[in-house]
Amino acid sequence: MIIGLTGKNGSGKGEVARFLKERGFEYLSLSDVVREEVKKHKKPLTRDNLVLQGNELRKKFGADVLAKRILDRIEIDRNYVIDSIRHPSEVKALKSRNGFVLLNVTAPSRVRFGRLKKRKRESDPKTFQEFLKLERWEGKSGVGSDQQLNQAIKLADYTVNNDGTLEEFRDEVTRVVMTIAQKKKRPNWDEYFLGIAKVVALRSNCVKRKVASVIVKDKRIISTGYNGTPRGVKNCNEGGCPRCNQLASSGTKLEECLCSHGEENAITQSAYHGVNIKDSTLYTTYSPCLLCTKMIINSGIREVVFNIDYPLGETSMKLLEEAGVVVRKVKVE
């Protein structure tokens, strides 16, 4: 889960962030990106300087710059709470990441002003009129790259009211988080194993193309393989394969290629370690070539699931069909 926080000053976004941090969420804030810039320019960390610096960054690099910099810090295996989202372009950028939802925290203006007075920050407005003036400034601007908090709030997926007790507020946050968790879609088995195959492909040192396969039986990985030169031979990216190092055009000089394919290596690795792959499923990032197709058929693999079509794979598809091997294409980004 990636839960973004938006809302007006004093609404309780910080309390939501603390609550979720205590429950294992990693904390990120778009304001931290702005603070880093303010410090870089050796300016005082006042609210006015933060707003002005944020507007300057958006003007210079695009309205979604803060969100993009935060996205670079997100790991796919963690839950996050992201604070200080104040522009619709930031929301749109963050929503491009799977699992992101925007939570709007709200409370009456008098209640929010009272909270600001209690926290006694030097940069906070001293009167209710100053508070409302600041709110109007932060909420809407004629300059598109400036803060547009009101528009960001309209894009919220959920709203939590914070006008009661702290316990009531936390109960409501818990209810919303559990609703989000129950709606979150996890990868199905095909997406799961193809995703693993794509990670395995990162081990490939082939200059031309990174390809990998995983062989699965009873929803358990029993062998993996990625393309590259044979065991004990100089790696492809170190000059081990003459064809790849000449950057030969696709489909040419195949007789000079010393690299074994991902499917080939997954099958031979199972033989090397004495693992039975009969009636298994092979997940591969590309559909198999003709050589790998023959190995798949003769090794007893009953199903092939692939992500992207191999350019020279038409004959392979026909041969797999004739041999009774089930073939499915599943697109995984």
Q: Which residues are annotated as catalytic? A: 263
| Alpha-carbon span 286 to 305, nearest angstrom | 9
DSSP 3-state of 14: helix
Q: Could you give the CA distance from residue 217 to residue 197 in angstroms, rounded to a whole number? A: 15
Cβ neighbours of residue 206 closer than 8 Å, sequence gap 6 or more: 227, 228, 236, 237, 241, 244, 259
From edge to edge, which strands make up the β-sheet containing 2-7?
26-29, 80-83, 2-7, 100-106, 158-161
Do residues 100 and 2 lie in contact, with contact meaning Cβ atoms separated by under 8 Å? yes
Query: How many C-beta atoms surround the C-beta of residue 223 within 10 A?
Result: 22
Per the rule left: phi > 0, alpha: psi between -120 and 50, beta: everything else, 98 is beta
What are the distances in angstroms from CA 87 to CA 62, 94, 148? 11, 11, 5
- HSE at residue 161, side-chain half, CA atoms within 13 A, is 3
CB 2 within 8 A of CB 73: no
25 touches 101 (CB < 8 A): no
The beta strands (E) that lie in 191-310 are given as 212-217, 220-226, 281-286, 303-308
Q: Cβ contacts of residue 177 below 8 Å, gap of 6+?
A: 1, 3, 20
Tokens of 164: 């009661």
Give the bridge partners for 2, in sequence order: 80, 100
